[in-house]
Amino acid sequence: MALKFAEQTDTTIALHVVTPDTLEADLGDLDDKAQSWIRAQGFQAGLGQVVTVPDDAGGIAIALAGYGTADARKRGRFHLAMAAAKLPAGTYRIAGGLDAEELEEAALGWLLASYRFDRYKAASAQKALLVAPDGIDARRLETIADGEALTRNLINTPASDMGPQELEDAARDLAQQHGAAISVISGDDLLDLNYPMIHTVGRASQRAPRLIDMTWGDSGPLLTLVGKGVCFDTGGLNIKPGGSMGLMKKDMGGAATVLGLAHMIMGLNVPLRLRILVPAVENSIDGNAFRPQDVLTSRKGLTVEINNTDAEGRLVLADALALADEGEPALIISMATLTGAARVAVGPDLAPFYTDYDSHAAALTTAAADVADPVWRMPFHDPYEGMIEPDVADLDNAPSGGMAGSITAALFLRRFVDKAPYMHFDIYGWQPSAKPARPKGGVGMGARAVLAALPDLLDL
């Protein structure tokens, strides 16, 4: 679905954004009748409060949205999206009360709040529409919102309709939309072309594993995005319990996020060369499934002892990262719904990321705050390297003990990148309960922060 701003009309309603500190001054600009009406409604400009003032014909003359106190706003983001959910049907224009930075976040949040996943059931339409505020780049925000909608749609689609082939189809549609080139290696060709771990993880499924490779742009630094595309994860022979398997349609959230980010980059014509690599598999159970204690040889030549078949995401990413590194890009970024440990550490709202470059971490952290896409730096802690080194192979895909699970997974992935600067995101990709601009379900994490940081990350 395209997330767009509304057109200005003669019936557009002025929406005044008000804080408790500015309430009296703002009311003083209105006539006595309007002031009395607003006070009678108990409007105190609290965060998320709304009030509409009727006109003489029974319509809406103006509307007010409470923006709360600064302390209240620290506890969330996309605050005006709360008003979008509560206002009566109509087309609104923000008439004041926000500075330039707040205005951009408010406008984007309103767009994101209009997202509906309606593939299987008719969803209610967004009632309150917003005219693009003056001074913002409306096309840029619409492109970013559409990239986020793509990510959400891909994650929300159940595995019955989003297997490796369907993920490839989505990538092909995106490539066609932006004039990108795309190639796909699937099935036993993965073995012939030296992607053994992607093949091994996906071979037990009747839906063939594959590696999707998309390229775009002919000048500028090369950015390679690698997204985990495990379209469903049973856990393999180390089968997950039912409660843990229930959300595994989202285990391709890394792939969905990099495709959404790719849409933003290409749609905004960012001056770089882009490569997207998605190892797309289904981790299933069959007689030819890979087993605990198997030792696999990766594309890079490193051997990996399998101590849990449910730690499969790092295996498919490893072959893709080795390929990415062969191209010697200016930066490699991987995104994956990789570990439960990351969720225990930072919860569902923060996107944990790893990098060895302090300048990259600083740029990303600053950009994330600017665009309301929170991230948190985690350490590539070298003393833990021994935890991923078993006796019988170069690497262990699932170290025993359960400690530092996200860090050891990140260290595992780093072993497959030698030449390029590397950044890894261990994301959740799911909104467990509805929040402003983020309905329950699939959600992008870190993509907007990366987009905003690209000028500093790549010296654009």
Q: Give the residue numbers annotated as catalytic, written as ranges.
A: 240, 314
Please give the backbone phi and psi of residue 343, each rounded to the nearest 5 degrees, phi first.
Answer: -70, -40
CA 70/CA 372 separation, integer angstroms: 15
Hey, what amino acid is at 280?
A: A
The CA distances from residue 87 to 64, 282, 283, in Å, are 9, 43, 45
- Asked if residues 87 and 63 have their Cβ atoms less than 8 Å apart, the reply is yes
- Asked if residues 388 and 305 have their Cβ atoms less than 8 Å apart, the reply is no
DSSP 92-127: EEEEES--HHHHHHHHHHHHHHT----SSSPPPPP-
Q: List Cβ neighbours of 209 (8 Å cut-off, separation of 6 or more).
A: 164, 186, 187, 190, 198, 199, 201, 202, 203, 279, 280, 281, 282, 316
Closest-CA residue to 401 (of 386, 413, 416, 414):
386
* Tokens read off for 118: 């309606």
Q: What is the largest CA-CA distance in the chain?
A: 82
Enumerate long-range contacts of 22-27, CB under 8 Å, 24 or more apart: 22/97, 26/64, 26/97
Beta strands across the sheet bearing 295-297: 295-297, 303-305, 395-396
Closest-CA residue to 299 (of 327, 277, 321):
321
Hey, what amino acid is at 179?
A: G
- Asked if residues 371 and 391 have their Cβ atoms less than 8 Å apart, the reply is no
Hey, what amino acid is at 79?
A: H
The b-or-e profile of 153-170 (16+ CB within 10 A means b, else e) is bbbbbebeebbbebbbeb
The CA distances from residue 321 to 88, 167, 224, 316, in Å, are 49, 19, 9, 9
